[in-house]
Chain A
Amino acid sequence: MPRLSAAQRHTIRFTLNGQPVQGEAEPRLLLTDFLRHVLGATGTHVGCEHGVCGACTVQIDGSPARACLTLAVQVEGSDIRTVEALAPAPGRLSILQEAFRRHHALQCGFCTAGILMSLDAFLRAQPDADEAALRDLLSGHLCRCTGYAPIIAAALDAAARLRETAHA
């Protein structure tokens, strides 16, 4: 483990959505601030900065993680995916994103990036997840707009369609 000095900025390099990126940060800089304000990747949102709301969820080496509880220096050398990476091409949406649109599973959309990142990782790991498992996963996210029912509907729909495409 390299020793970092609190008073110094350090160069951090990692892969963001398939592209190598780098920037400078003091050891105390949160990953959310690094992504949003140093790299300009503003799709990841900040709702509480204490790990409860889930808005800041990103994937670090394939696993969902709270970017607000992660220091930028911790992800040196990692592979990070954020909401900006989910769509297959500009102007198109992924199956999961499409399902959210179809079911009106977002209103303000502020919580959505985190929810998508959790679901994306989860459905890849557990394509057969049932409603109870999806609820369990989504209980780590707060949404103040939708009342959750459309989010559950979208997640179930996306899971079913992903299974179909997998079998096709």
Chain B
Amino acid sequence: MDSPGDKWVGQSLPRFEDAALLTGRGRYFDDCGAPPGTLHAAILRSPHGHALIEAIDTAAARALPGVAAVLTGEDIRTSTTSLVVGVKAPMECWPIAVERVRYVGEPVVLVVATDRYVAEDALDLIEVRYTPLPAVTDPVVALTPEAPVLHDGLKGNLASERRFRYGDPEAAFASAAHRIAIDVTYPRSACTPIECYGVLADYDPGEDSYDVFANFQGPFSIHAVIARALRVPGNRLRLRTPPDSGGSFGVKQGVFPYIVLMAAAARACGRPVKWVEDRLEHLAASSVATNRVTRLEAAVTADGIITALDWDQLEDCGAHLRAPEPATLYRMHGNMTGAYAVRNVAIRNRVVLTNKAPTGLNRGFGGPQVYFALERLVQRIALTLGLDPLDVIRRNLVPTSAMPYRTASGALLDSGDYATAMETALREGRHDELLRRRDAARAEGRPYGIGYTAVVEPSVSNMGYITAVLTPAERKRAGPKNGAQATATIQCDAVGSVSVHVASVPQGQGHRTVLAQVVADELGLRPQDIRVVTDIDTAKDAWSIASGNYASRFAPAVAGVARIAAQQLRTRLQRIAAPLLNVPPDDVVLAHGKLHARGNADNALPFARVASSPHWAPGTLPAEDSAPLRETAWWTPPELTAPTEADEVNSSLCHGFIFDFCGVEVDRVTGQVRVDRYVTMHDCGTVLHPGMVAGQVTGGFAHALGAALYEAHSYAPDGSFQTGTFADYLVPTVMEVPAPLILHHESPSPFTPLGAKGVGEGNCMSTPVCIANAVADALGLHDVSLPLLPATLARHLHGAEPGAPAVAPPQGERTLRGEGEARVAAPREKVWAMLLDPEALMAIIPGAHAIQRTSPTAYRAEVTLGIGPVKGRYRVTLSLADLDEPSALTLSGSAAGALGFGQGRGQVTLREADGSTVIAYHYEAAVGGKVASIAGRLLDGATRVIIGQFFAALARQAAPRQPWWQRLLHRLGLHA
């Protein structure tokens, strides 16, 4: 591989990462081993959406051999400090429940044991007594005065409210030809990397310091949050990351509360503690994107030009405001006008707390929520005014001549030619043919629609944008925040070979390959000559608060600063070589592994000789060049200034442009959406590696398709979490994801060293609403909400299904109903007696271990039940009422265990029929907790099976035993 004259940057080289990853030699968190003596943690989590913790009995768990420690919220509270909360509000945020649980999956007890299996055994032995409280899961309801309050200090559930005003929105609305509004809700979804969280923590009491190894992705501003929670200065928290990561998409920022927990546990045990999250934990409690309720109104001229926007956003951050929230709401603050030139903007931002998992980073971070409202509105404007949606987009796009363009709310759009990119996309994406395709489908009666979106994709976040949640006065008191420090270090060793380190923590994006390309270009080497290290060790590496892998900052910021460091190194190499080549430093050329005089390739020195010379012969070099070659560059863009007095925020450095359109067909019978064609045009500035850019686009597109069509974190009204497995939380497979047509229009960013902009998140912003617009077009829908499930669309196609009486479930959990009959070959009196006899019941109840009669009509039992994938022990109480011997009774009961809880009631009648007894029953039960999260689909079936087993056992026990030869004949189907 050689590339004379050409640049390595811009080529799709095979990735250096791949050989190891393809042969099973990756080094992900859980592949990296642990020191001898490491203990393993498991976490008992809340089965309730909202409840008071009355008592926690850990005695049996502590007594289990192998258990080293059992830690509750109280224990953690005494050894740590609450995580900082990003708004000024009287509210704490603990990584484990203290006194109260506020969402299903919230940690309640931490068990540390010799291995994970033992730790999980111990979880089963812990008894937590809860008093359930009313829960609220809907953000609008959470604001009502009747709603249960999550954090008493707050008085209500509103954690933050701010209003913003740019230009003169009131005047624009007053004089507008039209006011057109849209109300939308955006659901919760999450990017679910296939590798879950992992933390290994150790504590050294001699130095009062923590050493943590975790698959954390940044931003490293969180390092300060963790250190503060652990009550140590930053230099006593060493945070390291593994070389490889199994995906993140923002989500692995959310591992940090567990870093605090495991560090505190390591301190309590005096041994290293390791924890690996499982998938249920991940889905229930890792880092989910916010759901948002938005009303957006536009002032519009007769020909569709938007003169003002009025945003009202209600952001649901779940049960706790966990750092960096409410950043999801403010990440787009400079971009609230999208790709459009709108000078007058009003914004009301409110943050509300509900009994759902706390939110955090996810690919797109705030963009999907904003663009769903804005681009649905653009379609609404077109429909209302009878315009072509493309014309509404065209008339409002920021003009090329205005670049760089300062938006009303403060973002500086760096570069772009939106109009050309859009027209190119329409042409190369064969838009006219798509229109004909739609016509043809409709002529056959097939619902077919086309959707459009134009989107600005921000990248490289301003570390100061989140302070827009504070008032200017509060900001002043706290001191200004801004910038986005990036850093890279390049060094030459004793044989002159080159190593690069960046504080970037890639999660699979191939950073090592791109960095080798960037540095190779500057130093005249081949990429394969350069070794790149991207994991971070905060004790040894250069890093800053913006370090990490988020906000699409790699190509614009990290690769850029690597180039700056390489240029600094090159300058030093030129100075060292100049006297040896007898030319001025500027005339020293680095190419093909050599340094040579410009215009005379024969007057040359090997790169390795020059690069190693400060190690071997510093005395021959001028004093300023005698140190070994090691250059650390820092870069922060001057454009990322702090929010102004007027709340203008340049929230991101770079702004890519995306124009998407798609054709979808909705199945007339099932309501299933099929994406027939998807075209996505990107302007991400200079493309550093086309293969990887394509990978980012197709990957982001698949995430977005999932969010549009399938994925939703689902909660019952009581706060029960219902999507705890990959069989409930539906992630698209290869069957659902079509390949989009990807187009590019390059407008290099003038603000980044390589001209690159971010590209990884854009489709998560543009695609969900593009598909929604297409489905709205296909079915003529006024309102659309995601995900576009067949069941929802079928209602539009066929009307609501009749029947299904709406009975309120006992507590809002997963409700089961059923009825049946069983025939027992025994007289009624005998069956009756068995139902009232603990000994007999013990043999009948499936999985019963111990049964006690607590009163003449009440029992307590321990039962092991398997429901779908989950087998667990439950403490069951049963009581009999309305006894009408021997013909009827009412059985009510409740069950509670580590896997969940339930309660139900059944009516049983006994009827004589030809010497046997017919038992008829019907029941109604409600189930919550873990079993509802992961086995919801299976509960009905499993309940029927268990009840069937009960009556089969009853029939067996009650029937007089036949002689063996009769049983044999019976089995053979021969009746004697």
Contact = CB atoms under 8 A, between A and B. Distances in A.
Q: Do A and B truly interact?
A: yes
Interface of A: 26, 28-29, 36, 41-50, 52-53, 55, 82-84, 86-87, 91, 93, 97, 100-102, 104, 106-113, 116, 135-136, 138-152
B24 A110 contact: no
B17 A109 contact: yes
B28 A110 contact: yes
What bracket does the count of chain B residues touching chain A fall in?
A: 35 or more
Nearest to B690: A104
A116 B15 contact: no
Nearest to B116: A33
B25 A43 contact: yes
Query: Which 9 A/B pairs are nearest by Cβ-Cβ distance?
Result: A43-B24, A108-B508, A110-B246, A109-B21, A147-B698, A147-B702, A52-B726, A107-B508, A83-B24
B561 interface: no
Given A142-B733, A144-B193, A109 B22 contact: yes
Contacts of A102: 14
Interface string B666-708: 0000000000000000000000000110110111111100000
B22 A108 contact: no
Interface stretch (B204-212, B314-322, B734-742): B734-742
10 contacts: A43-B26, A45-B28, A83-B22, A97-B23, A104-B12, A107-B695, A108-B507, A112-B22, A116-B22, A142-B731
Given A26-B117, A104-B691, 10 more contacts: A47-B196, A50-B726, A52-B726, A83-B24, A100-B18, A102-B14, A109-B22, A109-B246, A143-B194, A146-B702
Contacts of B160: none
Contacts of A28: 117
Contact of B26 (A48, A87, A109): A109
Given A42-B30, A150-B695, A139 B22 contact: no
B116 to A, nearest CB: 8
A106 B117 contact: no
Nearest to A153: B739
A7 to B, nearest CB: 12
Nearest to B195: A110
Interface in B536-550: none
B22 A106 contact: yes
B191 interface: yes
Contacts of A47: 194-196, 246, 279
Interface in B12-44: 12, 14-15, 17-19, 21-26, 28, 30-31
B245 interface: yes
B60 interface: no
B509 interface: yes
Contact of B509 (A48, A97, A107, A113): A107
Contacts of A136: 735
B945 interface: no
A151 B734 contact: yes
B733 A139 contact: yes
B31 A149 contact: no
Interface in B638-656: none
A53 B194 contact: yes
B108 to A, nearest CB: 21
Given A104-B692, A108-B245, A144-B703, A42 B24 contact: yes
A112 B944 CA distance: 39
B734 A138 contact: yes
Interface in B86-144: 117
A12 B725 CA distance: 30
Given A50-B725, A101-B15, A108-B507, A144 B279 contact: no
A21 B735 CA distance: 38
Interface centre among B18, B19, B698 (most CB of A within 10 A): B18
Contacts of A138: 733-734
Nearest to B691: A104
A81 to B, nearest CB: 11
Interface in B174-219: 191-196
Contact of B195 (A36, A45, A87): A45
B913 interface: no
Given A47-B195, A101-B18, A107-B695, A144 B24 contact: no
B22 A93 contact: yes
Contacts of A108: 21, 193-195, 244-247, 507-508
B701 A147 contact: yes
B24 A50 contact: no
Nearest to B247: A108
Contacts of B279: 47-50, 53
Contacts of B821: none
A116 B191 CA distance: 23
B194 A104 contact: no
Contacts of B726: 48, 50, 52-53, 142
B599 interface: no
A144 to B, nearest CB: 5
B22 A147 contact: no
A116 to B, nearest CB: 7
Nearest to B196: A47
A10 to B, nearest CB: 15
A145 B695 contact: yes
A113 B193 contact: no
A84 B31 CA distance: 14
Contact of A45 (B25, B246, B510, B699): B246
Interface centre among B694, B733, B734 (most CB of A within 10 A): B734
Contacts of A135: 734-735
A148 B702 contact: yes
B734 A48 contact: no
Given A104-B15, A109-B17, A142-B731, A97 B22 contact: yes
A138 B734 CA distance: 7
